[in-house]
Structure 1
Amino acid sequence: MSADTMGHEPVHSARGAVAIITNSRGQLLLHLRDDFPHIAWPGHWSLLGGGVDGDETPHEAIVRELQEEAGLTATGVTELFDMRDGDGSGLTITFFAGTWDGDETQLPLTEGVELRFVDPEDLDELRIPPYIHQGIRRGLSR
């Protein structure tokens, strides 16, 4: 495989993990990414997650990323499917689902601009990477 357009290493072994976190009201926890030109999808709403480090499994990575980025421990985090971010990072991303009922404004956000619970019917009004939007729709239809 070739390197993606952002100058990263070849994507054959590069992986990431994101989590579709819902609350008891059926809302989704979204993360507004920083608006830095050197990151994939700057200034977009996305799911919490990040890259898989070393010999970590995608499940280990999502548990770590949720804790690192937002101090969040979601319950029942289960693997759903893989998708490729063909228009951004080029990574193969493993999608997970989990639940959390709490006040997102009280989470200690360490990356990005904001965390917000959003009603699924409002997704089309937000700037979301296409693969994330597609993954959320696919995950919610299960």
Structure 2
Amino acid sequence: MTSDAERRLQQRGVSIQDEPDVIGGVTVEPVDGAVAELPPYLDRQDELAAGDVRGQGAMALVVSPEGIVLHLRDDKSWIPHPGCWSLFGGAVEDGENPDQTIVRELWEELHLTASEYRPLWRVVDAEGDGRLLTVFEVVTSMLPADMVLTEGQGLRAFSRDEALRQRLAPFCRRVLDRYPGCSGIR
């Protein structure tokens, strides 16, 4: 049976094999519907809220040689966090786990092949659509100017401090508050 995610990728001409999946040239091994090792919750409030979530998502904290790459979300009232800077990613679709979702979403949103990524935290997007998000760190040598943005109003690389001065999606702000990895970039 073909999942919704597989059908959508096949329609876009992305190669899909039965096992393992190949998305944007990256082999993604199925992991029984879950991340191989679940990362910790960002903090206690996320752990407590996780029982009342409305689905799952996967988000990428993309780190390029120029800094943390964020995208400016569309200013549409029906989407979570309109007009805010945020991480890249989206909903876990039927038949996917968060690892597969982050690879698919980065290919769809940036044409970025996520070959090096690691789960950081799980966080509930309480102010958005209520999903339990698995946040991944994705380190790439690709510069933002070479990324192909397909969703949102724009993308830009920031130092961590610069990013924290922007209008951010609340979950994104909480993640960047805790993320020490890029404080020295730029």
Name the TM-score class by shorter chain. 0.7 to 0.9
Write the deviation string for residues 58-117 of structure 1: whole angstroms up to 9, x where unpaired: 010000000001101133111111000111111111000111122312322111011111
Higher relative contact order (CA 8 A, sep 6+): 1
AA at the equivalent of 1:109: L
2:161 to 117, 121, 124: 121
Give the TM-score of the pair, scaled to structure 2. Answer: 0.65
Runs (5+) with no aligned partner, structure 1:
1-10
How far apart in 2 are the matches of 1:83 and 1:103?
A: 27
Alignment of 1:81-120 (within 5 A): 81-120=121-160
Percent identity, please: 35
Contact 2:53 2:130 in 1 (8 A): no
Give the TM-score of the pair, scaled to structure 1. Answer: 0.84
2:60 to 16, 19, 31: 19
AA at the equivalent of 1:43: G
1:50 aligns with 2:50: no
Superposed CA RMSD in Å reads 1.6
- Higher mean alpha-carbon deviation, 27-36 vs 95-104, is at 95-104
Where has structure 1 moved over 3 Å in runs of 4 or more? none
How far apart in 2 are the matches of 1:13 and 1:93?
A: 11
Equivalent pairs, count:
130
AA at the equivalent of 2:103: V
